[in-house]
Structure 1
Amino acid sequence: MYDQTITQHLRKHISLTDIQLTMFLSLVKQKEIPRKTRLLEQGQVCHSIYFVHTGALRAFYLDGAGRESTIMFAVTEWWITDMYCFVNTLPAMLTIEAIEDSIILQLHKNDLERLYNEVPPFERFFRILMQNAYIREQLRVIQNLSLPAEERYDMFLEKYAHVASRVKQKQIASYLGITAEFLSMIKRKKIETLK
């Protein structure tokens, strides 16, 4: 059941009473999301943050020419939203889509604000989440600016092997900022060096 997964996840970072936990659980909505379902479309106002109970999601940006750039993936026990637009209640810059059949927990911004006011440990929990996300994205930007594509791909595989096996190669390529063809070339080169 999702209660146990989210409870264990929360308790890795904060202590909650049973009453506080029950309040949190009353505010999240469980949803079963079939593969290819979009939880958020670019341009819609972003009101929610999502916890992945099972499955996998991705957030991507679609440019004017129709090219997708994957910004982030989210698998079991990860959170995902268009953070800038969520915090500022703005139209989303990103689309969030299920890349596998998934079960997610949805938390509305108003309910998160209520948690901040009534259950102070949640401010700590989401601060930790935001700090970790900021650090991860800062490192990713630095790597994209300073490392060749081959090294970025190796680091992605090393750090996110559990993600790499679940997503399409073109989605990994767009996450790395390269074309799918260039990623295929990198993979062929790796295979040849192993022979």
Structure 2
Amino acid sequence: MEPTAVPGTAALRPVESESGVLVHSSADRRLATEHWLMATCPPASHERIRMEWQENSVALLPLGTLFSAVRIPGRLISSMALAEDLEGVDAFLEDALRGGPVICAPHGRRYYALVPGSVARTWSEAAEEWRRAGVEVLGNGSYLGVPRVDATQCDPQTVSYWSVPMESAAVLCTPLAVARLIAAGLHAMADDSE
């Protein structure tokens, strides 16, 4: 393409277009994730949630709309992770759940895999079977203490932290990956008891 000259202006040069991917900074993703988590509540509650995150590092959010949670006892996960330390278990969960977000409550050694909101309704039969092992599917009518999106490390004052951080808004664990994790954990625990 030849440069085009318009009377009274310099010749215009063609613009080379580059194909690529739009990249969002981690700060942008954290902010988008924070807003997505707050969307579980009416806008009038958003300031309360921000204050809870600022003062307590954890905010109580309702489950069953944007996401539900599967509570998994630490002993079930440790039986497969071959690690007792939190960092080792966190790395195992990140791999096993393909980066799906997980919240850890370290004092009770409970893990909460965040899954689509519909899972609590569709898994009712499996949830009954898993309850004996301490697994519970939490949906409508339940609340979860959700840490600030930047709370990714455990320290002595930590009530909960992101064992596997939520990488972007609305990116959740796949139900199949969570079900496989639970099934493998139950199998490993049965083998340990024999």
TM-score, normalised by the number of residues in structure 1: 0.25
Normalized per residue, the structure richer in helix is 1
Q: Which has the higher contact order (CA 8 A, sep 6+)?
A: 2
TM-score in terms of structure 2 length: 0.25
More strand per residue: 1 or 2?
1
